[in-house]
Amino acid sequence: MNKVQIGIKENLINFILLVVTNFFVGSMVGLERTILPIIGEEDFGLASASAALSFIISFGFSKAIVNYFAGAIAERLGRKKVLIIGWSIGLLVPLLVIFATSWWMIVIANIFLGINQGLAWSMTVNMKIDISKPTQRGLAVGLNEFAGYVGVAVMAAVSGFVATNFSNRPEPFYLGIIIVVIGFILSLLVRDTEEHIKLQTKSSKNNGRTLSAKEVFKTTTFKNKSLSSITFAGLSTNLKDGMAWGLFPLFFTGVGLTVSQIGVLVAIYPASWGFFQLFTGALSDKIGRKWLIVGGMWLQALSLWMILFVNQYSLWFIAAILLGLGTALVYPTLQASISDVAQPEWRASSMGVYRFWRDSGYAFGALFAGLLTDTLNVNWAIGLVALLPLSAGLIAAIRLNETLPSLNKQP
């Protein structure tokens, strides 16, 4: 038996397998990104924005709840088993969409998608952190999120292309069945990280001291200044994304763009988000976490307002890239900050609490976006939602301590 070592280089094959696995995890979300809001309007005749966005609400809340429990479940069953369970549940998603005869079946499909994402994505990021050194966490999370959101982008573009050349259903969702099979096989090949966790726990300054689930929830949500600032920034980021997921196709349809053009714009935002995370996570390991988080939150707000105030395809394209860059600055950095502060014994549980609040943002974003669109209009909904990341950046600037161990020994 090989000696267990901590470090990306020391666990390179397993690390690469986890990166590739998360590409397919992200692809499950990308499959729906371009066409599901359009299916709601065209196939099921949903006139209300709130009704059309109900699939995102069901996805967001189910993913958030599963995120919360995923950490605790993984600490009992092991990361690999939870990853495999996540993929098993994922198979239900494309099958339900393919055979849906009413909108409630789409909503149920997205509950299962939320469970799939909550289990599978949570485990890929936790397993990468388990095998990485403290000074590699930003890089590890950045590569994980890069792979996932490139998966989102690729499949958003591919599904839009397939829908344009064939139909909205069922052809794009045949791809979903293939994605699940590949993801399941990859998960069987991944090595569990239980021994790495034990090694980190032995060397932890906090060795022997554990927190209850209630204590972890309170500490992450509001008791610890840094953790609570990180959590609110995560919630604001995904609230913005829940709105973008639901309203961007409707907004761009309203200004006269084709499904293919919308597919490109909807894809370039997560593509940019994914690509820049190759660099932003690693950058946070060098220069620190705090100001990347603050700047990224503010750039998200400004990019949303840019989308509203320009009226040209090329400028919308640039705004979508900037929105992705703003998200990329914060996404891996927030999770790396959580792992800086939380101790190995309760790190997965703290990450679960953070991801619970962060991904509930999908649901709140879709809910608020739908209500604002129905009472005002799409433009007002996008503009008002942008106030959240702006506020989160301000709070982080005031309350968040630098968490990178090499810059702050007492985060």
Provide the 3-class DSSP secondary structure of residue 326: helix
When pLDDT is averaged across residues 114-140 and rounded to a whole number, the result is 92
Instruction: Write out the two tokens for 239.
Output: 């609230």
pLDDT at 209: 60
Of the chain, the percentage scoring pLDDT greater than 90 comes to 57
The answer to whether residue 290 scores a pLDDT higher than 50 is yes
Whether residue 148 has pLDDT greater than 60: yes
Find out whether 397 and 92 touch, Cβ atoms under 8 Å: no
User: 193 and 81 in contact (C-beta within 8 Å)?
Assistant: no
Tokens of 269: 């935002």
SS (H, E, C) 30-84: HHHHCCHHHHHHHCCCCCCHHHHCHHHHHHHHHHHHHHHHHHHHHHHHCHHHHHH
The answer, yes or no, to whether residue 410 has pLDDT greater than 50, is: no
Mean per-residue pLDDT for 390-410? 86
Look at phi and psi of residue 288 and say left if phi exceeds 0, alpha if psi is from -120 to 50, else beta: left
Q: Is 408 helix (H, G, I), strand (E, B) or coil?
A: coil
> Residue 308: is its pLDDT beyond 80?
yes
Mean pLDDT of 90-108: 93
**Interval 274-288: pLDDT, tens:** 889 889 999 999 999
pLDDT at 411: 38
Q: Tell which wins on pLDDT, 169 or 200.
A: 169
H/E segment holding residue 367: helix 347-375
- What mean pLDDT do residues 378-405 have? 95
328 contact partners, CB below 8 Å, separation of at least 6: 145, 272, 273, 274, 275, 276, 277, 280, 296
- 74 pLDDT tier (thresholds 50, 70, 90): confident
Q: How large is the average pLDDT for residues 301-315?
A: 96
> How far is it, in rounded angstroms, from Cα 217 to Cα 265?
37
Average pLDDT rounded to a whole number, residues 320-336: 95
Do residues 366 and 53 make contact, with C-beta atoms less than 8 angstroms apart? yes
Q: Is 90 exceeded by the pLDDT of residue 402? A: yes
Residue 370's pLDDT band (cuts 50, 70, 90) = confident
| pLDDT score for 37 | 77
* 8 Å CB contact between 6 and 131: yes
Q: What is the mean pLDDT of residues 86-103?
A: 94
Q: 132 near 281, Cβ under 8 Å?
A: no
Whether the Cβ atoms of residue 98 and residue 150 lie closer than 8 Å to each other:
no
Q: Which residues of 374-395 are buried (b: 16+ CB within 10 A; e: fewer)?
A: eeeebbebbbebbebbbebbeb
pLDDT band at 57 (very low <50, low <70, confident <90, very high): confident
What number is the average pLDDT over the span 260-269?
A: 87
pLDDT band at 99 (very low <50, low <70, confident <90, very high): very high
Q: Which of 91-105, 175-189, 218-232, 249-263 has the lowest mean pLDDT?
A: 249-263
User: CA of 94: how far to CAs of 182, 288, 369, in Å?
Assistant: 14, 41, 26
Q: Which two tokens stand for residue 330?
A: 């914060």
**Residue 32 or 386, more confident:** 386
Q: Residue 206's pLDDT band (boundaries 50, 70, 90)?
A: low
In degrees, rounded to 5, the angle at the alpha carbon of residue 146 between the alpha carbons of residues 203 and 150 is 150
Q: According to the per-residue pLDDT averaged within each range, which of 123-127, 191-195, 291-295 is highest?
A: 291-295
Per-chain mean pLDDT for the chain: 90
pLDDT value at 155 more than 70: yes
Q: Which residue has the tokens 């399941």?
A: 184
Q: What percent of the chain has a predicted confidence (pLDDT) above 70?
A: 97
Which one has a higher pLDDT value, 41 or 110?
110
User: Is residue 170 reached through a cis peptide bond, with omega within 30 degrees of 0 on the bond before it?
Assistant: yes
Q: What are the distances in angstroms from CA 320 to CA 28, 77, 169, 271, 315?
A: 21, 40, 27, 9, 9
Between residues 408 and 146, the one the model is more confident about:
146
Interacting residues of 39 by C-beta distance below 8 A, sequence separation 6+: 106, 168, 169
39, 165 contact by CB (below 8 A) = no
Looking at residue 204, its pLDDT comes to 62
pLDDT at 1: 47
